[in-house]
């Protein structure tokens, strides 16, 4: 039986396509956000902030109670370590996790093969494994600081190609780069997950390559990741419902 999550149909409803980032400091706060968005959010993201504060038991508890969890720990290490971390993520029952594509082809392909083997052995669904290209908080200057010459888009397309060749299920990029990724990678099943979503009138915070949710979906993003625009709203449920309505109006 093929239990690969990658074989799941592409997301269609706006609700399914919005991943809410649980960027908070404790389990109590995370549960408050989840409570505010119960029945409205399609998936939640646990990143390094909450994971470091609250640990894997919270993730296991959320997946066991039926929540779709994107574990955003951006693994980047030697191939063996990343593969073993990937297996640990699969053991937690997460729906999606990510690795840095800059870790290279061997790191990505070893992670996929060891996680796939683990899931087959245990008859469990393989998490979607997504490659981080260039963070949405980076621009030309950020890249030049670390010795990468040229605009972020060039590096994004290069890393997306590497991730696709290694067999990853998709990439994280800015919604501005989805068109270029789709043009470069012909596989229609290759997913794009895009943070950097802002209302046009809102602050960008530390994000530099941003769009609105409507632009992201119009550009072909499969999933958008949204944190502060929902977390910092006076009424989080209303903020998420308004984003869903904006996206639905364009579908």
State the catalytic residues: 74
Closest CA to 19 of 31, 4, 34: 34
**Cβ within 8 Å of residue 167, ≥6 positions away:** 108, 109, 112
Q: Is 222 in the site for ligand C5P (CB under 6 A)?
A: no
If the CB atoms of residues 83 and 210 are measured against ligand C5P, the closer one turns out to be: 210
Burial 175-189 (b: 16+ CB within 10 A, else e): bbbbebbbeebeeee
Residue 114 or residue 176: which is nearer to ligand C5P going by CB?
176
Number of residues that bind ligand C5P (CB under 6 A): 16
Residues 92-131 that bind ligand C5P (CB under 6 A): none
Using rule CB under 6 A, residue 89 touches ligand C5P: no
Taking each helix axis as running N to C, give the angle between helix 27-36 and helix 236-250, from 0 to 180 degrees, rounded to the nearest 10. Answer: 50
- Round to whole Å and give the CA distance between 159 and 152: 11
* Contact string (CB under 6 A) for ligand C5P, positions 22-61, x = contact: -x-----------------------x--------------
CB 247 within 8 Å of CB 226: no
**Residues 54, 132, 191, 247: which binds ligand C5P (CB under 6 A)?**
132
Q: Choose between 23 and 169: whose C-beta lies nearer to ligand C5P.
A: 23
d(CA 23, CA 107): 27
The helix (H) or strand (E) run that includes residue 37 is none
175 near ligand C5P, judged by CB under 6 A: no
Residue from 6, 18, 21, 46 touching ligand C5P (CB under 6 A): that is 21
Residue with token string 């994971």:
51
Task: List contacts with ligand C5P (CB under 6 A).
Answer: 21, 23, 47, 72, 132, 135-136, 172, 195, 205, 207, 225-229
């Amino acid at each position: 039986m093929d239990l690969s999550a990658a074989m799941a149909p592409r997301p269609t409803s706006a609700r399914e396509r919005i991943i809410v980032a649980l960027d908070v400091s404790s389990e109590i706060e995370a549960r408050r956000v989840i409570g505010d968005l119960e029945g409205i959010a399609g998936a939640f993201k646990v990143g390094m902030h909450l994971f470091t504060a609250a640990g894997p038991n919270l993730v296991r508890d959320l997946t066991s109670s039926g929540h779709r969890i994107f574990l955003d720990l951006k693994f980047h290490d030697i191939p063996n370590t990343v593969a073993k971390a990937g297996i640990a993520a699969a053991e937690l029952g997460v729906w999606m996790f990510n690795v840095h594509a800059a870790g290279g082809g061997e790191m990505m392909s070893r992670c996929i093969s060891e996680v796939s083997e683990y899931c087959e052995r245990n008859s469990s669904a393989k998490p979607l494994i997504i490659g981080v290209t260039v963070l949405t908080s980076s621009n030309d200057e950020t890249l030049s600081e670390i010795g990468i010459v040229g605009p972020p888009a060039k590096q994004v397309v290069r890393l997306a190609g590497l991730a696709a060749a290694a067999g990853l299920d998709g990439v994280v990029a800015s919604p501005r780069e989805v068109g270029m990724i789709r043009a470069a990678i012909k596989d229609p099943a290759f997913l794009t997950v895009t943070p950097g979503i802002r209302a046009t009138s809102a602050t960008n915070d530390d994000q530099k390559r941003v769009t609105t949710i409507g632009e992201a979906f119009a550009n072909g993003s499969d999933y958008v990741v949204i944190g502060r625009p929902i977390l910092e709203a006076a009424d989080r449920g209303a903020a998420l419902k308004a984003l869903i309505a904006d996206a639905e109006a364009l579908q």
